[in-house]
C-alpha cells in the first residue's frame, strides 16, 4: 500500500468582512494554489489532479476553480474539479486526492478549499422535491444550522455557560497564537480592493485573520442575546463567524515526494465520514473520530479523540490555537485549513506526534482524519 505524504501547505488569510467582502473566491484560491508550489519550487506539471472543496458557488464552483487554476499560472493540461460535502468539503477534497493516489491514478495532487460567505449566503436549498416536507428526515435537512445547535444544546445538556466558556477559550487561544506568530508561516498575504463606507475604492493587503477578538470576556459574552430562539443559548459570540478564505495542501505518494526532494510534513493514517440525524448534525465528530481512529489501526489504542464531552480529551488539546469561533468557518475552506494548521502545530512540537481533524456536516454527517507528523 502506498504511503500518502503531505509536503507543504498554506492558507490565505481569512478576509475581514469590512475590507474584503468583495474579494472573489477565485482570487483567494489562486493565491494559495500558486503559493504552495512556489514555496517548494514545484512545477504544476507534476500534479496529476487538483480537487477544490466549495459549498456556495453554483455547481460547487466548477467554473470558479478552473478560473483560479489559470490565474495561478497552471497549464491547461493539469485537470481540476470540485466537490461539495458541505462543511467538510475542503477535507473531502483531500480524501479524493488521497484516494486517487492510493488507486494509482496519480502520484501527486493538490487538495484545496475555498469559500466567500460575504458574496454568497447559504440561503435557498435549491431545486428540491415538494415531497421533502412529507419526509421527516428530508425535512430536517433544511433546519437552519443555528437551530440544530440549539437542538444539540437541549438534548445533550450543553448550557449557555459552557458554550460561552468554550467561545472565550477559543478567542484566547487564537489571540495568543496570533501574537506569537504561529499562523504567519501558513498565511499567504492577499491584496484586494474594496469600497469603504465613503464609497471610495481602496487597496489593502490582508496578512492576518481579522476575526480574532482578543478583548473578548466572559462577562461580555453573557450579555449577548440568543441569535436563533428567544429562549435559546446560541449567540453571535459563541457561534462561528461569517468568514471568507482559501487553503491548499500538496499531497503525494512517498516515492514521488522523495523523488522530488520535498519535505514531508505529515502522513494520512486514517479517515472516515459518517451519518448522524440531521436535526443534531453537530454531534457528527463524536462518531466520525472513533471511526477514523479505528481505520488508523493501532493508533486508536494510544490516541484519544477530540470530541470533548463524549470522547474525553483534555480541553487544552482541543483546538490549541483556537477554532472556528475565533478563526471563522468559510464552509468549503475549513477542512483544508484545519489540516494546514494541525500539521504546522505538530511540526512546532518537534517530535513524532499524531493529530485529528474533524467537523460536523450540514444535513447530518461528520468527517474526521488522523494524521501523523513523522518527526524531524
Whether 5 is catalytic: no
Of 72, 3, 82, the closest CA to residue 44 belongs to 72
Which H/E stretch holds residue 163? helix 160-179
| Selected catalytic residue, list 51, 300, 329, 333 | 329
Cell digits of residue 335: 477542512
The DSSP annotation for 207-242 comes to: -S-S---TT--HHHHHTSPBSSSTT---BSSSSPPP
> What are the residues facing 50 on neighbouring strands?
80, 110
| Selected catalytic residue, list 19, 20, 87, 333 | 87
Distance between CA atoms of residues 365 and 369, nearest Å: 14
Contact 115, 331 (CB under 8 A): yes
C-alpha dist (Å) from residue 65 to 47, 112, 235: 15, 10, 34
Distance between CA atoms of residues 58 and 79, nearest Å: 19
Whether 300 is catalytic: no
Whether 329 is catalytic: yes
| Selected catalytic residue, list 19, 51, 333, 360 | 360
Of 295, 306, 305, 284, the closest CA to residue 366 belongs to 284
Of 280, 325, 331, the closest CA to residue 86 belongs to 331
Task: Supply the residues annotated as catalytic.
Answer: 87, 329, 360
Amino acid at each position: 500500500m502506498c504511503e500518502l505524504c503531505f509536503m507543504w501547505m498554506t492558507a490565505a488569510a481569512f478576509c475581514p468582512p469590512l475590507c474584503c467582502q468583495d474579494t472573489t473566491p477565485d482570487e483567494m484560491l489562486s493565491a494559495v494554489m500558486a503559493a504552495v508550489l512556489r514555496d517548494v519550487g514545484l512545477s504544476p506539471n507534476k500534479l496529476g489532479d487538483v480537487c477544490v472543496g466549495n459549498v456556495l458557488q453554483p455547481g460547487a464552483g466548477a467554473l470558479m476553480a478552473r478560473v483560479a487554476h489559470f490565474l495561478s499560472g497552471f497549464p491547461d493540461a493539469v485537470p481540476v474539479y470540485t466537490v461539495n460535502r458541505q462543511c467538510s468539503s475542503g477535507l473531502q477534497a483531500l480524501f479524493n486526492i488521497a484516494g486517487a493516489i492510493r488507486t494509482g491514478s496519480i502520484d501527486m495532487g493538490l487538495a484545496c478549499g475555498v469559500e466567500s460567505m460575504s458574496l454568497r449566503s447559504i440561503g435557498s436549498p435549491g431545486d428540491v422535491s415538494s415531497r421533502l416536507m412529507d419526509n421527516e428526515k428530508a425535512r430536517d435537512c433544511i433546519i437552519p444550522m443555528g437551530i440544530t445547535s440549539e437542538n444539540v444544546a437541549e438534548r445533550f445538556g450543553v448550557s449557555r455557560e459552557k458554550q460561552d466558556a468554550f467561545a472565550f477559550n477559543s478567542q484566547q487561544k487564537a489571540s495568543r497564537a496570533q501574537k506569537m506568530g504561529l499562523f504567519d508561516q501558513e498565511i499567504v498575504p492577499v491584496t484586494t480592493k474594496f469600497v469603504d463606507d465613503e464609497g471610495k475604492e481602496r487597496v489593502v493587503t490582508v496578512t492576518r485573520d481579522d476575526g480574532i477578538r482578543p478583548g473578548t470576556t466572559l462577562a461580555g459574552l453573557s450579555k449577548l442575546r440568543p441569535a436563533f430562539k428567544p429562549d435559546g443559548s446560541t449567540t453571535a459570540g459563541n457561534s462561528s463567524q461569517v468568514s471568507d478564505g482559501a487553503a491548499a495542501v500538496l499531497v503525494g505518494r512517498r516515492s514521488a515526494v522523495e523523488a522530488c526532494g520535498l519535505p514531508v510534513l505529515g502522513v494520512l493514517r486514517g479517515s472516515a465520514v459518517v451519518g448522524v440525524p440531521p436535526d443534531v448534525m453537530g454531534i457528527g465528530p463524536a462518531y466520525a473520530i472513533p471511526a477514523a481512529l479505528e481505520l488508523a489501526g493501532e493508533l486508536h489504542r494510544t490516541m484519544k479523540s477530540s470530541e470533548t464531552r463524549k470522547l474525553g480529551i483534555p480541553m487544552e488539546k482541543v483546538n490549541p490555537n483556537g477554532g472556528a469561533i475565533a478563526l471563522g468557518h468559510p464552509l468549503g475552506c475549513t477542512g483544508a485549513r484545519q489540516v494546514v494548521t494541525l500539521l504546522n502545530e505538530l511540526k512546532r512540537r518537534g517530535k513524532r506526534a499524531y493529530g485529528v481533524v474533524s467537523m460536523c456536516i450540514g444535513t447530518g454527517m461528520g468527517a474526521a482524519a488522523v494524521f501523523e507528523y513523522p518527526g524531524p
